[in-house]
Amino acid sequence: MNRLTGGLLLSSVLLAGCASHPNSDTALQQAGGDFQKVKEDSNVLRIAPKDVIRAGESLARADRLSSYWGSGGDVVHYAYLSQRYSAIAREHTELVLNEERAAKLELERQRLQLALREAKLLSVQQQGKWLEEQIASLTTTQTDRGLVMTLGDVLFDTGQAELKNSANRTVLKIVQFLQLNPKRVVRIEGYTDSTGGEQENLKLSRDRAQAVADVLVDLGIDEKRIQVEGYGDQYPVEVNASERGRAQNRRVEIVFSDDKGQLGAAR
Amino acid sequence: MTIRPLFAALAVVMLAGCAADPAPNEQMRLTQQALEQAAAVGAVADDVPELKLAEMKLAQAKADMADESYKDARMQAEQAELDARLAEARVLTQKSQEQLNVLNTRITRLRKQLGDAQ
Protein backbone atom coordinates (compact mmCIF):
# COMPACT_ATOMS: atom_id res chain seq x y z
CA MET A 1 0.00 0.00 0.00
CA ASN A 2 2.85 2.33 0.81
CA ARG A 3 4.18 1.73 -2.63
CA LEU A 4 0.82 2.58 -4.11
CA THR A 5 0.58 5.74 -2.05
CA GLY A 6 4.07 6.59 -3.17
CA GLY A 7 3.01 5.92 -6.74
CA LEU A 8 -0.04 8.09 -6.26
CA LEU A 9 2.06 10.87 -4.88
CA LEU A 10 4.51 10.55 -7.73
CA SER A 11 1.75 10.49 -10.29
CA SER A 12 0.17 13.52 -8.68
CA VAL A 13 3.38 15.33 -9.16
CA LEU A 14 3.64 14.11 -12.73
CA LEU A 15 0.05 15.06 -13.40
CA ALA A 16 0.54 18.45 -11.86
CA GLY A 17 3.38 18.71 -14.29
CA CYS A 18 1.41 17.76 -17.36
CA ALA A 19 -1.94 19.18 -16.15
CA SER A 20 -3.65 17.59 -19.12
CA HIS A 21 -6.74 16.89 -17.06
CA PRO A 22 -7.31 19.13 -14.07
CA ASN A 23 -9.44 16.59 -12.17
CA SER A 24 -7.33 13.51 -12.67
CA ASP A 25 -5.12 13.85 -9.60
CA THR A 26 -8.05 14.61 -7.31
CA ALA A 27 -9.93 11.62 -8.73
CA LEU A 28 -6.91 9.42 -8.23
CA GLN A 29 -6.49 10.60 -4.65
CA GLN A 30 -10.15 10.00 -3.81
CA ALA A 31 -10.16 6.55 -5.37
CA GLY A 32 -6.94 5.74 -3.49
CA GLY A 33 -8.48 6.88 -0.23
CA ASP A 34 -11.62 4.79 -0.77
CA PHE A 35 -9.58 1.74 -1.73
CA GLN A 36 -7.41 2.15 1.34
CA LYS A 37 -10.49 2.13 3.56
CA VAL A 38 -12.04 -1.03 2.11
CA LYS A 39 -8.67 -2.74 2.06
CA GLU A 40 -8.18 -2.14 5.77
CA ASP A 41 -11.66 -3.38 6.66
CA SER A 42 -11.43 -7.05 7.60
CA ASN A 43 -15.17 -7.55 7.06
CA VAL A 44 -14.99 -6.19 3.52
CA LEU A 45 -11.97 -8.37 2.77
CA ARG A 46 -13.81 -11.41 4.10
CA ILE A 47 -17.13 -10.76 2.38
CA ALA A 48 -16.35 -8.93 -0.87
CA PRO A 49 -12.75 -9.81 -1.80
CA LYS A 50 -13.49 -9.79 -5.55
CA ASP A 51 -14.85 -6.25 -5.48
CA VAL A 52 -11.79 -5.14 -3.52
CA ILE A 53 -9.49 -6.75 -6.08
CA ARG A 54 -11.32 -5.03 -8.94
CA ALA A 55 -11.14 -1.71 -7.12
CA GLY A 56 -7.38 -2.26 -6.77
CA GLU A 57 -6.96 -3.25 -10.42
CA SER A 58 -8.86 -0.21 -11.68
CA LEU A 59 -6.89 2.02 -9.37
CA ALA A 60 -3.59 0.54 -10.54
CA ARG A 61 -4.67 1.11 -14.12
CA ALA A 62 -5.60 4.72 -13.39
CA ASP A 63 -2.29 5.12 -11.61
CA ARG A 64 -0.36 3.65 -14.55
CA LEU A 65 -2.19 5.80 -17.09
CA SER A 66 -1.47 8.91 -15.07
CA SER A 67 2.19 8.66 -16.05
CA TYR A 68 1.27 8.99 -19.74
CA TRP A 69 0.77 12.29 -21.39
CA GLY A 70 -2.72 13.21 -22.47
CA SER A 71 -4.53 10.40 -20.75
CA GLY A 72 -6.18 12.46 -18.00
CA GLY A 73 -9.67 11.41 -19.14
CA ASP A 74 -8.75 7.74 -18.84
CA VAL A 75 -7.28 8.32 -15.39
CA VAL A 76 -10.53 9.91 -14.22
CA HIS A 77 -12.48 7.06 -15.79
CA TYR A 78 -10.56 4.25 -14.09
CA ALA A 79 -10.42 6.15 -10.82
CA TYR A 80 -14.21 6.41 -11.07
CA LEU A 81 -14.55 2.67 -11.69
CA SER A 82 -12.24 1.97 -8.76
CA GLN A 83 -14.33 4.16 -6.49
CA ARG A 84 -17.48 2.41 -7.64
CA TYR A 85 -15.98 -1.01 -6.93
CA SER A 86 -14.98 0.16 -3.45
CA ALA A 87 -18.51 1.43 -2.83
CA ILE A 88 -20.02 -1.81 -4.14
CA ALA A 89 -17.68 -3.80 -1.88
CA ARG A 90 -18.89 -1.77 1.09
CA GLU A 91 -22.57 -2.28 0.17
CA HIS A 92 -22.12 -6.01 -0.34
CA THR A 93 -20.38 -6.22 3.02
CA GLU A 94 -23.13 -4.28 4.74
CA LEU A 95 -25.72 -6.57 3.15
CA VAL A 96 -24.02 -9.74 4.33
CA LEU A 97 -23.40 -8.28 7.80
CA ASN A 98 -27.10 -7.41 7.97
CA GLU A 99 -27.98 -10.94 6.97
CA GLU A 100 -25.69 -12.29 9.67
CA ARG A 101 -27.27 -9.95 12.21
CA ALA A 102 -30.73 -11.02 11.02
CA ALA A 103 -29.85 -14.70 11.48
CA LYS A 104 -28.79 -13.98 15.07
CA LEU A 105 -31.91 -11.93 15.76
CA GLU A 106 -34.07 -14.65 14.24
CA LEU A 107 -32.63 -17.16 16.72
CA GLU A 108 -33.26 -14.71 19.52
CA ARG A 109 -36.82 -14.21 18.30
CA GLN A 110 -37.45 -17.95 18.22
CA ARG A 111 -36.02 -18.30 21.71
CA LEU A 112 -38.30 -15.55 23.03
CA GLN A 113 -41.28 -16.98 21.21
CA LEU A 114 -40.68 -20.34 22.83
CA ALA A 115 -40.33 -18.71 26.25
CA LEU A 116 -43.56 -16.80 25.72
CA ARG A 117 -45.37 -19.92 24.62
CA GLU A 118 -44.18 -21.70 27.73
CA ALA A 119 -45.29 -18.82 29.90
CA LYS A 120 -48.72 -18.88 28.31
CA LEU A 121 -48.92 -22.64 28.67
CA LEU A 122 -48.12 -22.24 32.35
CA SER A 123 -51.01 -19.84 32.77
CA VAL A 124 -53.27 -22.26 30.88
CA GLN A 125 -52.12 -25.03 33.18
CA GLN A 126 -53.08 -22.85 36.11
CA GLN A 127 -56.47 -22.47 34.43
CA GLY A 128 -56.45 -26.25 34.11
CA LYS A 129 -56.14 -26.52 37.88
CA TRP A 130 -59.28 -24.46 38.22
CA LEU A 131 -61.07 -26.72 35.76
CA GLU A 132 -59.76 -29.72 37.63
CA GLU A 133 -61.45 -28.42 40.76
CA GLN A 134 -64.64 -28.00 38.74
CA ILE A 135 -64.39 -31.55 37.46
CA ALA A 136 -63.65 -32.73 40.99
CA SER A 137 -66.83 -31.07 42.17
CA LEU A 138 -68.75 -32.89 39.42
CA THR A 139 -67.34 -36.25 40.39
CA THR A 140 -69.31 -37.94 43.09
CA THR A 141 -66.91 -40.63 44.15
CA GLN A 142 -63.25 -40.44 44.87
CA THR A 143 -62.66 -44.16 45.34
CA ASP A 144 -59.71 -46.45 44.90
CA ARG A 145 -60.65 -46.45 41.19
CA GLY A 146 -59.52 -42.86 40.99
CA LEU A 147 -61.52 -39.82 39.94
CA VAL A 148 -64.97 -41.02 38.87
CA MET A 149 -67.72 -38.91 37.34
CA THR A 150 -71.23 -40.28 37.11
CA LEU A 151 -73.56 -39.34 34.26
CA GLY A 152 -77.00 -40.16 35.52
CA ASP A 153 -79.94 -41.94 34.00
CA VAL A 154 -81.59 -38.61 33.02
CA LEU A 155 -79.05 -38.16 30.24
CA PHE A 156 -80.47 -41.11 28.30
CA ASP A 157 -84.01 -42.01 27.25
CA THR A 158 -85.25 -45.38 28.54
CA GLY A 159 -83.78 -48.23 26.52
CA GLN A 160 -81.95 -45.79 24.22
CA ALA A 161 -78.22 -45.36 23.91
CA GLU A 162 -78.31 -41.81 22.51
CA LEU A 163 -76.98 -39.10 24.77
CA LYS A 164 -79.48 -36.27 25.33
CA ASN A 165 -78.64 -32.61 24.77
CA SER A 166 -78.87 -31.95 28.48
CA ALA A 167 -75.52 -33.73 28.79
CA ASN A 168 -73.76 -31.11 26.63
CA ARG A 169 -72.47 -28.90 29.41
CA THR A 170 -70.93 -31.81 31.29
CA VAL A 171 -69.48 -33.33 28.13
CA LEU A 172 -67.89 -30.01 27.11
CA LYS A 173 -66.27 -29.69 30.52
CA ILE A 174 -64.82 -33.18 30.17
CA VAL A 175 -63.47 -32.32 26.69
CA GLN A 176 -61.89 -29.11 27.93
CA PHE A 177 -60.41 -30.91 30.89
CA LEU A 178 -58.93 -33.60 28.66
CA GLN A 179 -57.53 -31.02 26.26
CA LEU A 180 -55.81 -29.20 29.09
CA ASN A 181 -54.52 -32.48 30.51
CA PRO A 182 -53.21 -34.20 27.39
CA LYS A 183 -51.70 -37.10 29.35
CA ARG A 184 -54.87 -38.10 31.09
CA VAL A 185 -56.95 -40.93 29.63
CA VAL A 186 -60.46 -42.07 30.54
CA ARG A 187 -62.43 -45.26 30.79
CA ILE A 188 -66.12 -44.91 30.11
CA GLU A 189 -68.17 -47.55 31.87
CA GLY A 190 -71.84 -48.25 31.19
CA TYR A 191 -74.23 -49.79 33.76
CA THR A 192 -77.92 -50.75 33.75
CA ASP A 193 -80.47 -51.84 36.33
CA SER A 194 -81.47 -55.46 36.67
CA THR A 195 -84.62 -55.28 34.50
CA GLY A 196 -84.28 -57.01 31.14
CA GLY A 197 -82.04 -59.83 29.98
CA GLU A 198 -78.39 -60.05 30.86
CA GLN A 199 -77.15 -59.86 27.25
CA GLU A 200 -79.49 -56.98 26.45
CA ASN A 201 -78.26 -55.10 29.49
CA LEU A 202 -74.64 -55.71 28.63
CA LYS A 203 -75.24 -54.41 25.10
CA LEU A 204 -77.22 -51.36 26.26
CA SER A 205 -74.61 -50.46 28.88
CA ARG A 206 -71.86 -50.76 26.31
CA ASP A 207 -73.78 -48.75 23.72
CA ARG A 208 -74.40 -45.95 26.20
CA ALA A 209 -70.76 -45.83 27.20
CA GLN A 210 -69.83 -45.84 23.51
CA ALA A 211 -72.28 -42.99 22.85
CA VAL A 212 -70.46 -40.84 25.40
CA ALA A 213 -67.10 -41.85 23.91
CA ASP A 214 -68.32 -40.95 20.41
CA VAL A 215 -69.28 -37.45 21.52
CA LEU A 216 -65.85 -36.95 23.10
CA VAL A 217 -64.14 -38.13 19.88
CA ASP A 218 -66.38 -35.86 17.82
CA LEU A 219 -65.28 -32.97 19.99
CA GLY A 220 -61.63 -33.69 19.27
CA ILE A 221 -60.43 -36.15 21.88
CA ASP A 222 -58.15 -38.83 20.45
CA GLU A 223 -59.97 -42.16 20.61
CA LYS A 224 -56.76 -43.80 21.82
CA ARG A 225 -57.33 -41.98 25.10
CA ILE A 226 -60.74 -43.52 25.62
CA GLN A 227 -61.56 -47.03 26.79
CA VAL A 228 -65.14 -48.21 26.67
CA GLU A 229 -66.63 -50.91 28.90
CA GLY A 230 -70.18 -52.23 29.40
CA TYR A 231 -70.95 -53.97 32.70
CA GLY A 232 -74.70 -54.57 32.30
CA ASP A 233 -76.43 -54.85 35.66
CA GLN A 234 -73.25 -55.72 37.58
CA TYR A 235 -71.90 -53.44 40.33
CA PRO A 236 -75.17 -51.75 41.32
CA VAL A 237 -74.78 -48.68 43.54
CA GLU A 238 -78.29 -49.19 45.02
CA VAL A 239 -80.67 -52.12 45.46
CA ASN A 240 -82.77 -52.72 42.38
CA ALA A 241 -85.92 -53.20 44.45
CA SER A 242 -87.16 -49.61 44.20
CA GLU A 243 -87.62 -47.42 41.13
CA ARG A 244 -85.31 -44.87 42.73
CA GLY A 245 -82.66 -47.49 43.29
CA ARG A 246 -82.96 -48.73 39.71
CA ALA A 247 -82.63 -45.18 38.42
CA GLN A 248 -79.42 -44.81 40.41
CA ASN A 249 -78.04 -47.99 38.90
CA ARG A 250 -78.72 -46.86 35.31
CA ARG A 251 -75.65 -44.73 34.75
CA VAL A 252 -72.47 -44.10 32.82
CA GLU A 253 -69.32 -43.60 34.85
CA ILE A 254 -66.25 -41.85 33.56
CA VAL A 255 -63.07 -42.91 35.28
CA PHE A 256 -60.16 -40.46 34.89
CA SER A 257 -56.56 -41.54 35.00
CA ASP A 258 -54.04 -39.62 37.08
CA ASP A 259 -52.11 -36.83 35.34
CA LYS A 260 -49.47 -39.32 34.15
CA GLY A 261 -52.04 -41.41 32.26
CA GLN A 262 -52.19 -44.22 34.84
CA LEU A 263 -55.71 -45.58 34.87
CA GLY A 264 -57.00 -47.86 37.64
CA ALA A 265 -57.55 -51.46 36.53
CA ALA A 266 -60.86 -52.25 34.86
CA ARG A 267 -63.40 -54.14 36.94
CA MET B 1 15.72 3.50 -50.50
CA THR B 2 13.81 6.66 -49.77
CA ILE B 3 10.54 4.90 -50.29
CA ARG B 4 11.01 2.59 -47.28
CA PRO B 5 10.44 5.14 -44.51
CA LEU B 6 7.34 6.24 -46.40
CA PHE B 7 5.95 2.70 -46.22
CA ALA B 8 6.79 2.55 -42.57
CA ALA B 9 4.98 5.81 -41.91
CA LEU B 10 2.00 4.57 -43.90
CA ALA B 11 1.97 1.34 -41.93
CA VAL B 12 1.97 3.28 -38.65
CA VAL B 13 -0.97 5.39 -39.82
CA MET B 14 -2.85 2.27 -40.90
CA LEU B 15 -2.08 0.59 -37.59
CA ALA B 16 -3.35 3.62 -35.72
CA GLY B 17 -6.51 3.22 -37.75
CA CYS B 18 -6.78 -0.46 -36.84
CA ALA B 19 -6.02 0.23 -33.17
CA ALA B 20 -9.10 2.46 -32.87
CA ASP B 21 -11.58 1.16 -30.27
CA PRO B 22 -13.90 -1.55 -31.61
CA ALA B 23 -17.62 -1.23 -31.00
CA PRO B 24 -18.17 -2.26 -27.32
CA ASN B 25 -21.14 -4.48 -28.04
CA GLU B 26 -20.43 -6.88 -25.19
CA GLN B 27 -20.06 -4.03 -22.71
CA MET B 28 -23.33 -2.50 -23.91
CA ARG B 29 -25.04 -5.83 -23.28
CA LEU B 30 -23.49 -6.16 -19.81
CA THR B 31 -24.58 -2.65 -18.92
CA GLN B 32 -28.09 -3.25 -20.13
CA GLN B 33 -28.17 -6.39 -18.02
CA ALA B 34 -26.91 -4.59 -14.92
CA LEU B 35 -29.65 -1.96 -15.30
CA GLU B 36 -32.30 -4.63 -15.71
CA GLN B 37 -31.02 -6.44 -12.63
CA ALA B 38 -31.15 -3.26 -10.57
CA ALA B 39 -34.73 -2.72 -11.73
CA ALA B 40 -35.54 -6.34 -10.90
CA VAL B 41 -34.62 -5.88 -7.22
CA GLY B 42 -36.86 -2.82 -7.12
CA ALA B 43 -34.46 0.05 -7.75
CA VAL B 44 -36.22 3.16 -9.08
CA ALA B 45 -34.26 5.97 -10.71
CA ASP B 46 -36.16 8.61 -8.72
CA ASP B 47 -35.17 7.01 -5.41
CA VAL B 48 -31.68 5.78 -6.18
CA PRO B 49 -29.44 8.48 -7.68
CA GLU B 50 -26.92 5.87 -8.87
CA LEU B 51 -29.56 4.31 -11.10
CA LYS B 52 -30.47 7.71 -12.52
CA LEU B 53 -26.78 8.21 -13.36
CA ALA B 54 -26.64 4.76 -14.92
CA GLU B 55 -29.64 5.49 -17.13
CA MET B 56 -28.21 8.83 -18.29
CA LYS B 57 -24.83 7.30 -19.04
CA LEU B 58 -26.36 4.38 -20.92
CA ALA B 59 -28.36 6.82 -23.02
CA GLN B 60 -25.13 8.73 -23.70
CA ALA B 61 -23.35 5.48 -24.56
CA LYS B 62 -26.07 4.62 -27.06
CA ALA B 63 -25.71 8.04 -28.66
CA ASP B 64 -21.93 7.54 -28.79
CA MET B 65 -22.45 4.13 -30.43
CA ALA B 66 -24.61 5.77 -33.06
CA ASP B 67 -21.83 8.33 -33.65
CA GLU B 68 -19.30 5.49 -33.76
CA SER B 69 -17.44 7.16 -30.90
CA TYR B 70 -16.68 3.74 -29.55
CA LYS B 71 -14.20 4.74 -26.88
CA ASP B 72 -16.62 7.21 -25.34
CA ALA B 73 -19.40 4.65 -25.64
CA ARG B 74 -17.32 2.05 -23.83
CA MET B 75 -16.37 4.40 -21.02
CA GLN B 76 -19.92 5.60 -20.52
CA ALA B 77 -21.22 2.03 -20.60
CA GLU B 78 -18.56 0.80 -18.13
CA GLN B 79 -19.43 3.55 -15.69
CA ALA B 80 -23.15 2.97 -16.18
CA GLU B 81 -22.69 -0.72 -15.43
CA LEU B 82 -21.02 -0.04 -12.08
CA ASP B 83 -23.51 2.72 -11.27
CA ALA B 84 -26.30 0.21 -11.82
CA ARG B 85 -24.55 -2.46 -9.77
CA LEU B 86 -24.06 -0.01 -6.93
CA ALA B 87 -27.74 0.98 -7.18
CA GLU B 88 -28.73 -2.67 -6.96
CA ALA B 89 -26.45 -3.27 -3.96
CA ARG B 90 -27.79 -0.19 -2.17
CA VAL B 91 -31.38 -1.33 -2.63
CA LEU B 92 -30.57 -4.82 -1.34
CA THR B 93 -28.76 -3.41 1.67
CA GLN B 94 -31.66 -1.12 2.41
CA LYS B 95 -34.06 -4.03 2.23
CA SER B 96 -31.93 -6.07 4.62
CA GLN B 97 -31.89 -3.08 6.96
CA GLU B 98 -35.69 -2.93 6.85
CA GLN B 99 -35.83 -6.65 7.61
CA LEU B 100 -33.57 -6.08 10.61
CA ASN B 101 -35.89 -3.33 11.80
CA VAL B 102 -38.90 -5.65 11.54
CA LEU B 103 -37.06 -8.34 13.52
CA ASN B 104 -36.06 -5.85 16.17
CA THR B 105 -39.64 -4.63 16.49
CA ARG B 106 -40.86 -8.21 16.89
CA ILE B 107 -38.24 -8.97 19.52
CA THR B 108 -39.15 -5.85 21.46
CA ARG B 109 -42.80 -6.87 21.34
CA LEU B 110 -41.99 -10.41 22.49
CA ARG B 111 -39.86 -9.08 25.34
CA LYS B 112 -42.69 -6.81 26.42
CA GLN B 113 -45.22 -9.65 26.32
CA LEU B 114 -42.85 -11.87 28.29
CA GLY B 115 -42.48 -9.09 30.84
CA ASP B 116 -46.26 -8.89 31.10
CA ALA B 117 -46.66 -12.65 31.33
CA GLN B 118 -44.22 -13.02 34.20
Q: Is A152 inside any structural domain?
A: yes
Are A95 and B89 in contact (CB < 8 Å)?
yes
Same domain membership, residue A153 and residue A89: no
Band (pLDDT 50/70/90 cuts) for residue A12 is very low
Q: Could you tell me the CATH number of the domain that includes residue A247?
A: 3.30.1330.60
Q: Is A66 inside any structural domain?
A: yes
Asked if A25 and A76 touch (Cβ cutoff 8 Å), the reply is no
d(CA A78, CA A58): 5
List residues in chain A touching B: CB distance below 8 A.
Answer: 73, 77, 80-81, 84-85, 87-88, 91-92, 94-95, 98-99, 101-102, 105-106, 108-109, 112-113, 115-116, 119-120, 123
Q: Is B14 inside any structural domain?
A: no
Question: How many other CB atoms are found less than 10 A from the CB of residue A204?
Answer: 22
Domain termination site, one of A78, A100, A122: A100
d(CA A24, CA A74): 9
What does the pLDDT read at residue A164?
A: 78
Q: Is B18 inside any structural domain?
A: no
pLDDT tens-digit map of B58-85: 999 999 999 999 999 999 999 999 999 9
Same domain membership, residue A90 and residue A11: yes
- At residue A185, the 3 state secondary structure works out as coil
- Percent of chain A predicted with pLDDT > 70: 86
Q: What is the mean pLDDT of residues A167-172?
A: 78
The more confident residue out of B31 and B118 is B31
Nearest beta carbon to residue B96 from set A81, A95, A119: A95
Domain termination site, one of A100, A115, A148: A100
B2 to chain A nearest CA, in Å? 32
Residue A192 has pLDDT above 60, yes or no: yes
DSSP state of A242: S
Same domain membership, residue A149 and residue A95: no
What does the pLDDT read at residue A11?
A: 47
Residue A52 has pLDDT above 50, yes or no: yes
Among residues A264, A241, A263, A237, which one has the least CA distance to residue A250? A237
pLDDT tens-digit map of B45-63: 999 999 999 999 999 999 9
Q: Is B59 inside any structural domain?
A: yes
Q: Using CB atoms within 10 A of its CB, is residue B112 exposed (0-12), middle (13-18) or buried (19+)? A: exposed
Band (pLDDT 50/70/90 cuts) for residue A121 is confident
Asked if this assembly's ipTM is beyond 0.90, the reply is no
Are B93 and A98 in contact (CB < 8 Å)?
yes
Looking at the complex, does the CB of residue B105 fall below 8 Å from at least one CB of chain A?
no
The interface residues of chain B toward chain A in range 35-74, judged by CB-CB distance below 8 A, are none
What does the pLDDT read at residue A166?
A: 74
What does the pLDDT read at residue A22?
A: 66
pLDDT tens-digit map of B4-25: 655 555 554 444 444 568 999 9
Q: Could you tell me the CATH number of the domain that includes residue B52?
A: 1.20.1270.390
Same domain membership, residue A157 and residue A90: no
Structural domain boundaries, residue B81:
23-90
Domain termination site, one of A52, A82, A100: A100
Measured between beta carbons, the chain A residues lying within 8 angstroms of B117 are 116, 119-120, 123
Look at chain B and report how many structural domains it folds into.
Answer: 1
Band (pLDDT 50/70/90 cuts) for residue A243 is confident
Asked if A211 and A162 touch (Cβ cutoff 8 Å), the reply is yes
pLDDT tens-digit map of A20-40: 566 788 999 999 999 999 999
